Amino acid sequence: MEQARRRREAARKQNLRTRHHMTPEQHDSLLAFQGGRCYICRRATGKTRALAVDHDHAKARALCEHPEDQSCETCWRGLLCQPCNRLLAHVRDAAAALRRAIRYLKFPPAQEWLMGQDDE
């Protein structure tokens, strides 16, 4: 069991170095800066499943020389849990879509629609 844990940790460190050009110390420092949790949901801690190194793909394409599926400190954004990282990918990093999602949660269109039905 201990040997498997050490192998997973070594693989994680290797992934940080080769895919994200990030040292384990940089990762741990960024995680501490974020309060030890996913920056968006604040629930995931990375203890069960490692947090993803989220990076700006557009910035990576425009400014960096590494492959698009990699990252560097120029394009790092933070550490996210898998669902939050997928959320950003799903909306294609569009801030306008996230603002609409906030408005949707605060002012559900079905409720507004139902109120309009009273007028008819």
H or E stretch covering 77 = strand 76-80
- Among 76, 89, 82, 66, CA closest to 22: 76
pLDDT at 44: 98
Structural domain includes residue 69: yes
Q: Is 9 helix (H, G, I), strand (E, B) or coil?
A: helix
Tell me: pLDDT of 1 over 90. no
Question: Where residue 82 sits, what CATH number does that domain have?
Answer: 3.40.1800
Structural domain includes residue 63: yes
- Among 5, 4, 29, CA closest to 16: 29
- C-alpha count within 13 angstroms, C-beta hemisphere, residue 90: 9
CA distance 34 to 38: 7
pLDDT at 23: 97
Q: How many domains does the chain have?
A: 1
pLDDT at 119: 67
pLDDT at 60: 85
Structural domain includes residue 108: no
Structural domain includes residue 99: no
pLDDT at 120: 63
- Give the structural domain span for 22: 2-91
Question: What average pLDDT does the structure give for the chain?
Answer: 93
Structural domain includes residue 25: yes
Structural domain includes residue 114: no
Structural domain includes residue 111: no
CA distance 77 to 87: 15
CB count in 10 Å sphere of residue 20: 21
